[in-house]
């Protein structure tokens, strides 16, 4: 009796453990994440169309053709069945075609760089809508969010209004990270010296978890932030309060913030130094440092000038290498010209006389 209870308990244990898991990936609050969740479900269901029958047939064959079943039909010379071959190859082929089509469509439709065309499945976006821009910087080991239009910044706190498209521009200070808010959209890498983008929208008011999805060192486990979706009026009040109650984020403040630290509390800045995000992206926040984009522009100019000088040099060399006209040919050309001139003088009066 006890062993039976233990067996039943072990059988139910996975269900008990899974009950504490969050299902935010399959039940998100943002439209992009919802579409991605449905894609996972559809892909899994299509694959189960093959996996479940194969597992079931394996068990059926093992039971039917067991050693003790003497009533099973014994055909040692059987080697081919056209119908069975069609099923074995046709069903997986059709599923692969359907999966490929869904993947191709979803890859373009859910491209993180593509601007949104709807708020959710029932509400399209107006043609003249304006997205909220948020600049994201992955630091060691914390997150910096800059709102360029509002002129504020935060550390480990992201706030956006619901039903408003958001365009995230993402980079990193030193180490590659992964910007991920499961309730909002899929993971996007944050890389130093590079900018990635994500277009997304949150559709429900609430507080959600955001974190780094790419290991980046000792403080990776605590590199988390709170993401709050709020009403438009609450967002405006939050921006006004942040601007009035917080000091500005200067480049010196950023250089201090950039140093590795763990479990950083939420910070707010009521202003942002002009061009700070561009300097972070081009790795030239420190005074006197050269920006990457300026270095690339200088290199391009040097290459362009070198190519122009090379073309000019080759043109000059080709002109200098051209052979001079031989003296005999020059004399012959001069004589022919003299004869032609004399002939013209002779013919001209005759023609004139004839006209008179």
Which SS3 state, helix, strand or coil, does residue 152 take? strand
Q: Given pLDDT bands bounded at 50, 70 and 90, which one contains residue 345?
A: very low
DSSP states of 243-296 as a string?
Answer: HHHS-EE-HHHHHHHTS--SSPPPEEESEE-TTHHHHHHTT--STTPPPHHHHH
Average pLDDT over residues 202-210: 96
How far apart (Å, rounded) are the C-alpha atoms in residues 191 and 212?
12
Per-residue pLDDT for 271 more than 80? yes
Please check the confidence at residue 166 and state whether its pLDDT lies above 70.
yes
Closest by CA position to 134, among listed 147, 117, 122, 151: 147
Residue 312, pLDDT score: 87
pLDDT at 335: 47
pLDDT at 67: 84
Residue 344 pLDDT greater than 90, yes or no: no
pLDDT number for residue 279? 96
The arithmetic mean of pLDDT across residues 213-226, rounded, is 93
pLDDT of residue 336: 45
Q: What is the pLDDT of residues 301-331, one digit of tens each?
A: 999 999 988 888 888 887 777 655 554 454 4
Cβ atoms of 180 and 210 within 8 Å: the answer is yes
For residue 349, pLDDT over 80 is answered with: no
pLDDT digits (tens, 9 = 90+) for 94-153: 999 999 999 999 999 999 999 999 999 999 998 888 999 999 999 999 999 999 999 999
- The predicted pLDDT at position 353 comes to 35
Query: Percentage of the chain surpassing pLDDT 90?
Result: 67
Those residues with Cβ within 8 angstroms of residue 261's Cβ, 6 or more apart along the chain or in another chain:
140, 141, 142, 219
| Rg for the chain, CA atoms, rounded | 37
Distance CA 96, CA 51 (A): 13
Q: Indicate the pTM of the whole model.
A: 0.77
Reported confidence tier of residue 16, pLDDT bands at 50, 70, 90: low
Confidence grade of residue 78 (pLDDT, cut at 50, 70, 90): confident
- Report the candidate in 192, 163, 175 with the shortest Cα–Cα distance to residue 279: 192
Confidence of residue 190 (pLDDT cuts 50, 70, 90): very high
pLDDT confidence band for 60 (50 / 70 / 90):
very high
Q: Report the pLDDT value the prediction gives residue 339, as an integer from 0 to 100.
A: 40
Which DSSP letter does residue 13 get? H
pLDDT score, position 276: 96
């Amino acid at each position: 009796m006890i062993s039976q209870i233990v067996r039943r308990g072990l059988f139910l244990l996975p269900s008990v453990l899974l009950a504490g898991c969050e299902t935010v990936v399959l039940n998100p609050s943002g439209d992009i994440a919802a579409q991605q969740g449905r894609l996972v479900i559809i892909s899994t269901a299509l694959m189960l169309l093959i996996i479940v029958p194969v597992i079931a047939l394996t068990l059926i064959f093992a039971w039917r053709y067991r050693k003790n079943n003497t009533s099973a039909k014994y055909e040692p010379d059987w080697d081919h069945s056209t119908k069975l071959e069609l099923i074995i190859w046709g069903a997986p082929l059709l599923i692969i075609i359907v999966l490929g089509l869904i993947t191709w469509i979803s890859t373009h439709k859910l491209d993180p760089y593509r601007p949104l065309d709807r708020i959710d499945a029932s509400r399209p976006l107006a043609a003249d809508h304006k997205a909220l821009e948020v600049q994201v910087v992955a630091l060691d080991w914390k997150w910096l969010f800059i709102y360029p239009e509002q002129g504020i910044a935060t550390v480990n706190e992201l706030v956006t209004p619901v039903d408003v498209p958001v365009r995230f521009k993402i980079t990193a200070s030193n180490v590659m990270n992964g910007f991920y808010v499961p309730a909002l959209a899929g993971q996007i890498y944050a890389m130093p010296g590079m900018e990635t983008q994500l277009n997304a929208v949150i559709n429900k008011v609430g507080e959600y978890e955001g974190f780094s999805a790419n290991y980046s060192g000792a403080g990776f486990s605590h590199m988390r932030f709170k993401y709050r979706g709020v009403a438009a009026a609450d967002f405006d009040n939050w921006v006004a309060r942040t601007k009035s109650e917080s000091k500005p984020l200067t480049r010196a403040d950023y250089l201090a913030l950039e140093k590795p630290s763990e479990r950083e509390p939420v910070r707010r800045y009521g202003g942002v130094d002009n061009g700070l995000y561009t300097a972070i992206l081009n790795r030239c926040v420190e005074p006197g440092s050269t920006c990457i984009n300026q270095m690339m522009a200088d290199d391009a100019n040097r290459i362009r000038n070198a190519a122009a000088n090379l073309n000019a040099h080759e043109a000059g060399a080709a002109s200098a290498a051209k052979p001079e006209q031989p003296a005999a040919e020059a004399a012959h050309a001069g004589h022919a010209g003299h004869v032609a001139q004399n002939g013209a003088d002779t013919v001209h009066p005759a023609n004139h006389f004839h006209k008179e």
